[in-house]
């Protein structure tokens, strides 16, 4: 099967193409493999919302649910067994990619969203999920809440590869990079000969949700001319921060020990406003050493008609001007980021609850 030229060119520009979706049907049907072959997909991300959609109404989980039901396992154990099985199978499918491209070929599995504000519980579940899936090309997703930051450091120090999720602000992104570097430093402090090359991390910087919230506020203050610009500017300046941190002396010392940079990952790249180009958050976020995790719809849109925009490294001055203009118009950016972080955690928690209830019902039906 021939590779799509547009996505192949995106990969050549340094953007790793990841699919923001997973299901047992997608794995078993060969669809995921075909996306690797045709769309240059080199990674997969999941979240509670994705699993809720995957399990709901699919017959692919019936045999496993029946086996779990007759063993009278708890709903929580069943849920983790089911999701870990899908992630493990996807890791196996992507293993050849991981062997060719260390850091890619990864599949992400998230800690329970209800733990987002509990450091110790988050770190403990991250370690459990790492053990449960038992694949070197796994990422454990940990939210970038204030409580999540020390859990990131702890997990990295334990040798667990982490996908830090729900990053919205530049300030929090810098704290995430610090948490990663601190974890690597802690690992070296505990074992000066530790091999850091096996640890990988990405930092998932969310995009479209920023525009959704800021656009509402811009409309209220009569600054419609700034709509659809803030999310890209925010992400572009995040890449500038990435370049600063990963060219620092602190990083150089870790790199000399085999450490890999924590790559920026553009998340929430499906356009929510139909007035915007459907490839906006792909075309305008092209930079070396990044990941763009896309819903299938967005990926196919770029494959069909996507065109590269201005390279991110040429946008910093304009991006800073955009965010200043948004703030000058009366939008409280700190409040925006607080609101969308809380909403992000709550959305995943609600999906987790929905998934839990769905599995509970299935277990009862399968007894």
Q: Which residues are catalytic?
A: 141
Distance CA 165, CA 146 (A): 12
Joined together, the tokens standing for residue 359 give 């599995």
CA separation, residue 209 to residues 13, 61, 93, 144, 299 (Å): 25, 32, 31, 15, 18
Joined together, the tokens standing for residue 282 give 């792909």
H-type alpha helices, the chain? 5-12, 24-28, 31-39, 48-55, 62-70, 75-100, 119-133, 148-157, 170-190, 208-220, 230-245, 249-255, 280-283, 296-305, 316-328, 333-366
* Cα end-to-end span (Å), the chain: 43
Q: Which of 125, 233, 241, 237 is nearest to 176 (CA)?
A: 241
- Exposure string of 23-38, with b = 16+ CB inside 10 Å and e = fewer, is bbebbeeeebeebbee
CB 204 within 8 A of CB 255: no
5-12 vs 296-305: helix crossing angle, rounded to 10: 100
Residues in contact with 114: Cβ distance below 8 Å, sequence separation at least 6, in sequence order: 349, 352
Tell me the three state secondary structure of residue 165.
Answer: strand
Distance CA 8, CA 4 (A): 6
Residues in contact with 217: Cβ distance below 8 Å, sequence separation at least 6, in sequence order: 330, 331, 336
Joined together, the tokens standing for residue 254 give 């870790």
Tell me the three state secondary structure of residue 170.
Answer: helix
CB 201 within 8 A of CB 103: no
Distance CA 164, CA 45 (A): 12
């Amino acid at each position: 099967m021939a590779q799509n030229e547009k996505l192949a060119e995106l990969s050549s520009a340094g953007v790793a193409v990841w699919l923001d979706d997973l299901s047992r049907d997608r794995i078993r049907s060969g669809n995921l493999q075909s996306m690797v072959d045709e769309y240059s997909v080199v990674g997969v991300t999941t979240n509670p919302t994705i699993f809720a959609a995957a399990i709901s109404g699919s017959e692919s989980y019936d045999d496993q649910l029946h086996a779990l039901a007759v063993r009278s396992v708890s709903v929580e154990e069943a849920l983790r067994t089911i999701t870990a099985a899908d992630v493990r199978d996807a890791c196996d499918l992507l293993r050849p990619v991981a062997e060719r491209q260390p850091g890619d070929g990864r599949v992400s599995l998230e800690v329970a969203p209800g733990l987002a504000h509990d450091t110790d519980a988050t770190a403990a579940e991250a370690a459990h999920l790492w053990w449960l899936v038992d694949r070197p090309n796994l990422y454990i997703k940990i939210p970038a809440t204030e409580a999540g930051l020390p859990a990131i450091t702890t997990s990295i120090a334990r040798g667990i590869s982490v996908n830090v999720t729900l990053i919205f602000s530049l300030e929090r992104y810098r704290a995430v990079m610090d948490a990663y570097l601190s974890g690597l430093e802690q690992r070296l402090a505990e074992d000066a000969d530790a091999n850091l090359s096996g640890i990988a991390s990405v930092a998932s910087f969310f995009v479209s949700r920023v525009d959704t919230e800021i656009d509402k506020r811009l409309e209220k203050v009569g600054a419609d001319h700034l709509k659809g610009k803030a999310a890209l500017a925010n992400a572009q300046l995040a890449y500038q921060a990435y370049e600063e941190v990963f060219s620092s002396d602190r990083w150089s010392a870790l790199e000399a020990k085999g450490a890999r940079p924590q790559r920026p990952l553009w998340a929430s790249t499906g356009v929510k406003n139909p007035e915007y180009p459907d490839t906006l958050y792909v075309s305008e976020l092209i930079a070396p050493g990044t990941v763009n995790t896309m819903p299938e719809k967005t990926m196919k849109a770029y494959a069909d008609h996507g065109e590269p925009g201005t390279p991110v490294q040429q946008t910093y001055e304009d991006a800073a001007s955009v965010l200043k203009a948004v703030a000058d118009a009366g939008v409280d950016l700190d409040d925006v980021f607080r609101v969308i972080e809380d909403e992000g955690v709550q959305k995943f928690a609600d999906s987790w609850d929905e998934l839990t209830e769905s599995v509970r019902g299935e277990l009862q039906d399968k007894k």
